[in-house]
Amino acid sequence: MAEGGSGADGGIDLELRKSDESALVQCKQWKAQKVGVSVVREMFGVLTASNADKVIIITSGRYTQQAIDFASDKRITLVDGTELLSLIHDVQTEPKVEATKQTTCPRCGSELVERQAKRGINAGNSFLGCSSFPKCRHTQ
């Protein structure tokens, strides 16, 4: 295993090798957003230009449907936050990391994020709002 460095690494965070196979890994932290198809396309370009056998993209969040569709017939593995947590649980000893409550918007399916009211009767109070605001204005 080799770690990617800073600079023009094509977005590669890790390079994994086992026997004659190699995989390039990119990690993305997305708290309120989904990883889009542009990231997956970029890593496919890196894969094509390299001698690697596959690409693995890992996120703490989720992927857009376009990203999932683009990767489906390619040597690209997408690992989302739920799967990542499951992988961690598989190898973790005490104490276990607890899953956080993931709430999705009932209107559009985007993730709900914690926000704070800035004005009005609820100023200063926390609420959940759709991460795709202002396109979707759902709140809880």
Instruction: Pinpoint the alpha helices (H) of the chain.
Output: 37-49, 65-71, 81-91
pLDDT in the model for residue 62: 87
Below-70 pLDDT ranges, the chain: 1-10, 30-32, 94-102
pTM of the entire structure? 0.60
Order of strands across the sheet that contains 14-18: 2-3, 14-18, 21-28, 54-59, 76-79
Q: Which is nearest to 12 in space by CA: 61, 51, 59, 47?
A: 47
- Angstrom distances, CA of residue 101 to CA of 5, 39, 81, 98: 34, 26, 12, 9
> 86: how many CB neighbours lie within 10 A of its CB?
12
Q: Which is nearest to 54 in space by CA: 88, 11, 15?
A: 15
pLDDT in the model for residue 114: 82
